[in-house]
Chains A and B, each alone.
Chain A
C-alpha cells in the first residue's frame, strides 16, 4: 500500500470502519511512513475535538410534552 492508497483509508481507520485486510495493510504502511502517521493522528484529534467541543442541547420540556402526546405516556418516565 502506498501513501495515496493509505490516505484514502484514513477517515475509515479513524472511525474503525476498515475491513480486516485493509486495517492490516494500513497499519503496515503507517509503521513505515511518518507522514501518513502524522495525518492519521491529526484526523483522530480532529474527530476528538468535534466530539468534545460541539455543544449538545437537550430538547425543551414543551417539545418533550408534545411528542409524548403522540403516545400518551408520562414524560417523567423517560426524561
Chain B
C-alpha cells in the first residue's frame, strides 16, 4: 500500500514508494489467498515440531518462500495445499535433517507440551455417552503421536486439515492408493490405542461387548 512512513518502509520487504502496480497486486492477492491460512499453518507446524519457536520459524520460512514463488502458484488450485507442501519441504530441510530420528516420540515432551497449553483447550459440548468422548485431548494426541509417522501424517492432513486424497498424495509424494491404505491402517491402529485408554478407565468398548 502507499505508506509514506519511512520506518514502515524499512520493515516491509516489498513496500516502498516505487512499488510497481504488479507488485501491489501480488501483495493483495497473496494476502487473500495465502495469509488467510496462517492459523492452519501454525497449528500444523506446532504439531510436527512440538516447539512454539520452531513452529514460528517454520511458518515464517514457509511464507517467505511462498511469497517469493507466488507467481508459480497455479491460480484456481488450493493455496492451502500449496502452502502445506512448502511447509513440509521446509520442515525436512530445516529440522529433520539435524534433529532426532524420525518416528521417535518423546512422551515427556508431549506431557510438557500439553501441560503448557492446557488453558487453550477447546472443549466441545458433547454429551455423547460414547467412550471416546470421555477421552482427554492429551490421550487422543498421545495415541496419534504413537503412530508411525507415515500414518500420523496422512491422518493429520485428512482429519484435522481437511485435505482431499489428491492433495495429500501430492504433499506426501505417494499415489492416492497409498494414501487410502495408510489412512485405513492408521485409523485401525489409532482405534486400538484409544480402546486401550478406554479400558484403562473402565469404559466398555465395542470389542468387550
Contacts and interface: CB of A to CB of B under 8 A. Distances in A.
A29 B56 CA distance: 48
B137 A72 contact: no
A67 B184 contact: no
A51 B191 contact: no
Contacts, number: 144
A46 B155 CA distance: 10
B104 interface: no
A58 B135 CA distance: 23
Nearest to A10: B184
Contacts of A28: none
Contacts of B59: 59, 63, 67
Given A63-B60, A73-B31, A7 B184 contact: yes
B8 interface: yes
Contact of B1 (A11, A14, A73): A73
Interface in B145-197: 155, 158-160, 164-165, 180-181, 183-184, 187-188, 190-191, 194
Contact of A70 (B41, B67, B124, B158): B67
Main secondary structure of the interface of B (DSSP, over half): helix
A53 B36 CA distance: 23
B132 interface: yes
A5 interface: no
B38 A49 contact: no
Given A52-B124, A57-B42, A46 B160 contact: no
A24 to B, nearest CB: 18
5 contacts: A15-B165, A50-B160, A53-B137, A67-B35, A70-B67
Given A12-B180, A46-B187, A50-B190, 18 more contacts: A7-B184, A11-B183, A14-B187, A15-B183, A38-B206, A46-B190, A49-B140, A50-B160, A51-B160, A55-B122, A56-B43, A58-B42, A63-B59, A68-B35, A70-B13, A70-B14, A73-B1, A78-B31
